[in-house]
Amino acid sequence: MTCANPARRNGAWRHVGRAMAAAIAVAALTGCEDKNIFVAPPPSKVDVAAPVQRPVNRYVEATGNTAPIKNVDLVARVQGFLQSIDYQDGTFVKQGTQLFTIEPETYKLKLDQAQAAEAGAQASLRQAEADFKRQTELVQRQAVSQATLDTSTSTRDNAQANLQQAQANTRLAEVNYGYTKVSAPFDGVVSAHMVSIGELVGVASPTQLASIVAMDPIYVNFTVNEQDVLRIRAEAARRGLTASDLKQFPIQVGLQTEPGYPHEGHLDYVAPTLTQSTGTLAVRGLVPNDKRVLLPGYFVRLRVPFTQEKDALLVPDTALGSDQGGRYLLVINGDNIVEQRKVQIGPVDNGLRVIESGLKPDDRVVIAGLLRVIPGQKIDPQVTKIEQPQASAK
């Protein structure tokens, strides 16, 4: 028996080993292919909530400007040298407070002169009346002629006219003397003086000394567009309100740096006609301003409540999306599929957006994670509630 070549025997074992390794590799790959099956990811968890349903006031919102109810130039109505300035520039003064004095001595002397002339006229009248009575008695006794009585009557009448003239001169002198003291015609803030002590004023025409501005209350002027005018008139007709009732509508005002509308007043004036060039109606409000927070000329925000909707639907502004078709909300249907719902939006009320149409009270609205969902996608809705912000300042 011939023994096999050791080298050949070793090569045969190598072929067997390679075949076994290949078989093991094939079995391993076959096992991997059986386990590599695609499993869809679970639906995304998305916060959804029903819209908030509560009463909402409807407002006409506008911007306007404040204006003083009184603004008067203080002028010198008599000629003379300015003797004194009796206030501090920019201070608040009460009605009747003396502000300027214009050389009163000359006008006091003229008043004294007029009063003396009046006294003389009164004496002449008394003498003329006494003579008239005497002449009347003499005529009755036929002691003097009728011509003498006529002369006495004329003298008496002239004396009465002279007294009336003297009284008018006295009154005129009193008025001019009063003009030497310039006082505040109403409560208000007085501007800086425009003349200096010792300056001659009122020479050719009244000289402006300063101006005074009433601060409390204060006007707010604004305009309302034609569409809002029609809405307000329709609501007024529905509620049976008259034109005088409209003037009692409340008005809420806020400065640009103030939250909300902290200043409240009421409508004071509504123009009888619209301005055709702009299609707007001029309206004016009257707002108390005892702390003088509102200064004339301020640019303000304002709103006028005219009706209330009992069951308005509201959502956070962040839940709204927009495209070329307008604004929309993502709503979850009964199969938890995302749907895009076109909506009409209204104003913001206490931090939430009013939805005018396109939404129902029982709809589930996506309020968070809008970037993770698309219409037609199935999601895992996480039901929550919309948090309502605390009431803002009026």
Statement to judge: residues 88 and 209 lie in one domain: yes
pLDDT (mean) for 107-130: 89
In a domain, residue 6? The reply is no
The winner for highest mean pLDDT among 69-83, 132-146, 155-169 is 69-83
Omega prior to 217 cis, within 30 of 0 = yes
- CA-based angle 303:305:309, to the nearest 5? 130
- CATH value at residue 359: 2.40.30.170
Do 108 and 165 fall within a single domain?
yes
The arithmetic mean of pLDDT across residues 184-204, rounded, is 92
> Above 90 in pLDDT, residue 110?
yes
Domain boundary among 191, 213, 235: 213
- CA dist., res. 271 & res. 279, Å (int): 13
Q: Is residue 307 part of a domain?
A: yes
End-to-end Cα, the chain, rounded Å: 117
Q: How many other CB atoms are found less than 10 A from the CB of residue 144?
A: 16
Q: pLDDT per residue over 346-390, tens digit each?
A: 888 888 888 988 899 999 999 887 777 888 888 888 888 888 766
Q: Are residues 206 and 235 in the same domain?
A: no
The proportion of the chain whose per-residue pLDDT surpasses 90, expressed as a percent, equals 39
Taking only the tens place, the pLDDT of each residue in 42-81 is: 887 888 899 998 888 888 889 999 999 999 999 999 999 9
Residue 3: the pLDDT is: 47
Q: CB under 8 Å to 303, separation ≥6 — which residues?
A: 59, 60, 61, 62, 251, 252, 261
Mean pLDDT value across the chain: 84
Q: How confident is the model at residue 121 (pLDDT cuts 50, 70, 90)?
A: confident
User: What CATH number did the domain enclosing 112 receive?
Assistant: 1.10.287
Residues 344 and 313 in one domain: yes
In a domain, 234, yes or no: yes
The predicted model scores a pTM of 0.69
Same domain, 205 and 232: no
Highest mean pLDDT among 52-56, 153-157, 170-174: 170-174
The domain of 380 spans: 42-69+215-394
241 and 209 in a common domain: no
Task: Decide if 15 is inside a domain.
Answer: no
> Are 128 and 230 within one domain?
no
- Choosing from 196, 213, 230, the residue where a domain stops is 213
Q: Are 117 and 142 contained in the same domain?
A: yes
Q: Report if residue 1 sits inside a domain.
A: no
Per-residue tokens: 211: 């101006």
d(C-alpha 345, C-alpha 356), whole Å: 5
DSSP secondary structure string for all residues of 42-88: PPEEEEEEPPEEEEEEEEEEEEEEEEES-EEEEEE-S-EEEEEE-S-
Q: Residue 311 has what pLDDT?
A: 84
Q: In terms of domains, do 320 and 204 share one?
A: no
Q: Confidence class of residue 40 from pLDDT cuts 50, 70 and 90?
A: low
Instruction: Report the alpha-carbon distance of residue 326 to residue 321 in Å, rounded.
Output: 8
Q: Does 261 fall in a domain?
A: yes
What mean pLDDT is predicted for residues 300-322? 87
Mean pLDDT, residues 307-315: 85
Q: CA-to-CA distance for 394 and 390, rounded, in angstroms?
A: 12
Percent of the chain exceeding pLDDT 70 equals 88
Say how far apart CA 249 and CA 239 lie, in whole Å.
13
| Same domain as 81, residue 65 | no
- Sign for the CA dihedral angle at 278, 282, 285, 291 comes to positive
Q: How far is CA 36 from the centre of its chain?
A: 70
Decide if 95 contacts 185 (C-beta within 8 A). yes
Bridge-based pairing of strands 344-349 and 352-357 is antiparallel
Q: What is the pLDDT of residues 71-108, one digit of tens each?
A: 999 999 999 999 999 999 999 999 999 999 999 999 99
Based on the domain organization, do 81 and 202 belong to the same domain?
yes
Q: Helix axis angle, 104-140 relative to 146-179, nearest 10°? A: 160
Burial letters for 230-240: b for 16+ Cβ neighbours within 10 Å, e otherwise?
A: ebbeeebeeee
Q: How many domains does the chain have?
A: 3
> Is 366 found in the same domain as 346?
yes
